[in-house]
Structure 1
Amino acid sequence: MLRANYDSEYGCLPLDYGGCYMLDKCCTGAYCKYFQKAVLPFDLVLEATLTGQKVPELDNCVICGKLFIPVGKQAYCSSACADTARRKRQREYMRKKRS
Structure 2
Amino acid sequence: MARELTREEKRAIRALVTKWCANYDRECGCLPLDCECYMFGKCWTGAYCRYFREAVLPLDPALEVSLMTEGPRPDFKPCPICGGAVPADGRMAYCSESCARIALRRQKRDYMRKKRR
Alpha-carbon distance between aligned partners in 1 of 2:106 and 2:45, rounded to the nearest angstrom: 48
> Which amino acid letter does the alignment assign opposite residue 44 of structure 1?
A
The count of corresponding residues between Structure 1 and Structure 2 is: 93
Q: Does 1:22 align with 2:39?
A: yes
Q: Does 1:65 align with 2:75?
A: no
> Which amino acid letter does the alignment assign opposite residue 21 of structure 1?
Y
Alpha-carbon distance between aligned partners in 2 of 1:56 and 1:74, rounded to the nearest angstrom: 15
Which residue does the alignment assign to 2:115?
A: 97
TM-score by length of 2: 0.57
> Percent of aligned pairs with the same residue?
35
Q: Deviations over 1:68-89 (max 9, x none)?
A: 3245332211111110000000
Alpha-carbon distance between aligned partners in 2 of 1:82 and 1:98, rounded to the nearest angstrom: 24
Larger RCO, structures 1/2 (Cα 8 Å, 6+ apart) = 2
Q: Say which SS state the counterpart of residue 68 (structure 1) adopts.
A: strand
Q: Which structure 2 residue ranges, 5 or more long, are not aligned?
A: 1-14, 31-35
TM-score by length of 1: 0.65
| 1:30 CA drift (Å) | 5.5
Deviating 4+ runs (over 4 angstroms): 23-28
> Quick one: which of 28, 44, 53 aligns to 2:62?
44
Q: CA RMSD in A?
A: 3.3
Alpha-carbon distance between aligned partners in 1 of 2:88 and 2:17, rounded to the nearest angstrom: 28
